[in-house]
Structure 1
Amino acid sequence: MGVSEITNIALMQGFAGLSLFSVLLLMGLGLAIIFGQMGVINMAHGEFMTIGAYTIFMAATLTEKWAPKMMPYYFPFAILLAFVLAFIAGWIAEWALIRHLYKRPLDTLLATWGLSLGLQQVFRSGIGPKEVSPTLPEWLMGSWSPSPGLDIPINGLFVLGLTLLVTGGVMLALYKSRWGLRVRATVSNRVMANAIGINTKKTDRLTFAIGCGIAGVAGAAFTTIGSTGPTSGSLYIVDAFLVVTFGGAASLLGTVASAFGIAQTQSISEFFMTGSMAKVLTLSVIVLILMMRPQGLFASKVRR
């Protein structure tokens, strides 16, 4: 095996890591908003991702059956629909359940875990226990070959572009919009935020719903690289919490950095060892770093 072949394999493996990075980052962004900004441990976050994935599947199925000529165009609209449906589900969950459990982390953890199990059963009963995959548009298929022997999947490029767009939008909204100003004021000092007229309960609900909506977009991205089942989201929830904890609970920049580091470490190590051993190696490295730096890569500078 020549140097060029080894280089191409390393580049393709690294790009596979970027696909995983995209899903982890989108999941982590939603959690960073909910967990980092609000202090809510949402164990059902993976199920909101599954809502987004099933939305893409249902949109593809209905489009293929009733409007086959729209197949090349349905995917971007289905992504928006995935965000909207996950947003609505998150809004309802916060109103019906989460708002009663603020400042009770253990109760929140158990309640959202129960919500997770309930949603999984809804998926099994409503859609079926088997994994499904949507029919993707033709323009998402195939690969791009910048050089001989190097093939980069087009769907991976699309997911990476989608992730960069969502990440940029979240950061812009958090630091340049009225919603972002209210979120940062509430995080900094809830009592003073209430005193100056900010409706912190409404801000909490909107923030939780937006975090769930971003998880729905993560589910839409996931459909391009894997099949969807009732428990697909739960397989990513631990990795998503690792991303947020490792990066620093209240730092979006830390979420980006940790998602990239975790995805690349896992992907490259999988080339040299089994998937389970690669996961063990990644987790061991994270634990060692957190032992030396418990606050994560980027510590929060917010005064408590």
Structure 2
Amino acid sequence: MFGYTMDEIGNIVVMQGFSGLSLFSVLLLMALGLAIIFGQMGVINMAHGEFMAVGAYTTVLMSKLAVKYDLVHTYFVFAIIAAFIFAFVIGYLIEFLMIRHLYHRPLDTLLATWGLSLVMQQIFRSTFGAKEVSAELPEWLLGSFQPTPDIDIPINGVFVMGLAIIVTASVYLYIYRSRGGLRIRATMQNRTMASAVGINTKKVDRMTFALGCGIAGVAGASFTTIASTGPTTGSLYIVDSFMVVVFGGATSLIGTIASAFSIAQAQSILQFFMSSSMGKVSTLLVIVMILMMRPEGLFASKLRK
């Protein structure tokens, strides 16, 4: 930080903080889906990043259609919905065809979903090419506004943050204020008793897995506003997403939010003053030290066994 005045450091922290909010929003959306799958079901889904890519490529395809039919100004909201639906349907089919046969076999699930991620990456590469592609964004997502002469805040980052807030609130209402969410929580806490009172736990598992994948699709749609998309884009975020879930507490929605915010802000600010790799390493070291003292995560839930 040497060579900067205090005013400059303050402006840098504010701008990097807002830049970190964009990363926070994508990480939060990714981690929400992963927390539902990993925290609620105990499934380690190494292909979760590829469901993010499904959402991103869906948005790219819809942007091409929007350009063709002169609908660029209005297509993006529908692209988000389509990204959720496509990722949800694919996740539902994957759970039915593969995941349901691997419950209580964590190593097999880990290897199978890792293999699935490689297959999906090759499908993306064969379908869309190896080069990264970008969505055509509507004008209302471009540019920035200046609260002060020295601070620029990107509009797309504010939009992604708003989308993350809406999705997070929706997930909270679904899990804690709906009958479907009650079934999910009952199955998570005691599968045998949930089944005994008439809950179809297999259906709950399938819908839960599909919901987590659908949220990853929304993360992919939001990702197109801040970066281009390639076959391996999703895999670049899977480690950070698992780190968010584990650090926050695998079954805690509040922990996922707090963890995503802390990690995104730390990486964004540290990477300005250090190299990108050193910023990530420094963040990871702090997380490891905290987990050594609190291995259950920041906000662990107490579950009946």
Structure 2-normalised TM-score? 0.98
| Cα distance, 1:115 vs structure 2 | 0.4
Large movers: runs of 4+ above 6 Å: none
Distance in 1 separating the partners of 2:41 and 2:6: 49
Trace 1:129-278 onto structure 2 (pairs within 5 A).
129-278=130-279
Identity of aligned residues (%): 68
- Correspondences of 1:109-148 after superposition (within 5 Å): 109-148=110-149
Question: What do the CA deviations read for 1:174-227 (whole angstroms, capped 9, x no partner)?
Answer: 001111000011011111111111000000000000000000000011111111
Q: Which residue of 2 aligns with 1:16?
A: 19
Q: Secondary structure at the match of 1:145?
A: strand
Q: Within 2, Cα distance between the matches of 1:46 and 1:165?
A: 21
CA offset digits 1:251-277 (Å, max 9, x no partner):
111000000010011111011100000
Please give the secondary structure, in 2, of the residue aligned with 1:146: strand
Letter in 1 for 2:8: E
For residues 249 and 6 of structure 2, the distance between their equivalents in structure 1, rounded to whole angstroms, comes to 38
User: C-alpha displacement at 1:301, in angstroms?
Assistant: 1.1
Distance, in Å, in 2 between the alignment partners of 1:234 and 1:264 is 21
Matching of residue 85 in structure 1 with residue 86 in structure 2: yes
2:62 maps to 1:59: yes
What is the letter of the counterpart of residue 17 of structure 2? G
Shift of 1:302: 1.3
Q: Secondary structure at the match of 2:64?
A: helix
Which residue of the partner structure matches residue 299 of structure 1? 300
CA–CA distance in structure 1, aligned partners of residues 142 and 126 of structure 2: 31
SS class of match (1:57): helix
- Distance in 2 between the 1:152 and 1:221 partners? 17
Q: How does 1:25-64 map to 2 (within 5 A)?
A: 25-64=28-67
Question: 1-side partners of 2:6 and 2:140: how far apart?
Answer: 32
Q: Structure 1 residues 2, 292: closer, same or farther in 2, change over 3 A?
A: closer
Structure 2 gaps, min length 5: none
CA RMSD of aligned residues (A): 0.8
> What is the Cα deviation at residue 3 of structure 1?
4.1
Q: How many residue pairs are counted as aligned between the two chains?
A: 302
Which residue of 2 is the match for residue 108 of structure 1? Answer: 109
Q: Which amino acid aligns with 1:124?
A: R
Describe the superposition over 1:39-90 as per-residue Cα deviations: whole angstroms up to 9, x where unpaired: 000000000000000011000011101x11x210000000000000000010
Q: Secondary structure at the match of 2:295?
A: coil
- What is the Cα deviation at residue 5 of structure 1? 3.5
* Aligned partner letter, 2:196: A
